[in-house]
Amino acid sequence: MGWTLAVVMTAAGGGTAVAQPPPQDLGAERRALMRQQLQAVRAIAPVAQGGGEPQSVREQAESLVATGRRKLELFPPGSDRDDDRARPEIWTHRAEFDRAGQALVEAAERLAAAAAAGDRAAFQPAFQATTAACGACHERFQFPQRR
């Protein structure tokens, strides 16, 4: 009897409500991703300054590639209310923002390749290019942090 009632109720539109997942907090995810990138850069910087072997920070360099790619997915239309540091230009100049994000990914790929190969000659300039790509994007598309 219970099964029949459930079928009838569902067919009549009176079935049990299915809980919807909470809306994704893209602002929180973006902030967490930025913190992850900052941790990777801080780990890599001493090696880029000659204080270690590039291979020792290969995972951190690879994480910059992965987080750089993911970041490009975290700014869909309408998500401008999720983050008080994201400038409106992210959405009004989307092609420029995507190019800036892709520049980070490409620089981080070169950094990860240099780290994996243990190539000191390529590692330091790749790190500089990666941090320059980060800075260029932040300058154009991120409000300064409030103090």
**109: which 2 tokens?**
């790929």
Residue 142 DSSP symbol: B
* 37 known member of a binding site: no
Write the DSSP assignment of 18-83 as a string of letters.
Answer: PPPPPPP-HHHHHHHHHHHHHHHHHHHHHHHTTSS-GGGGHHHHHHHHHHHHHHTTS--TTGGGG-
* 138 known member of a binding site: yes
* 137 known member of a binding site: yes
Q: Which residues are annotated as a binding site?
A: 134, 137-138
Give the residue numbers of the binding site for heme c.
134, 137-138
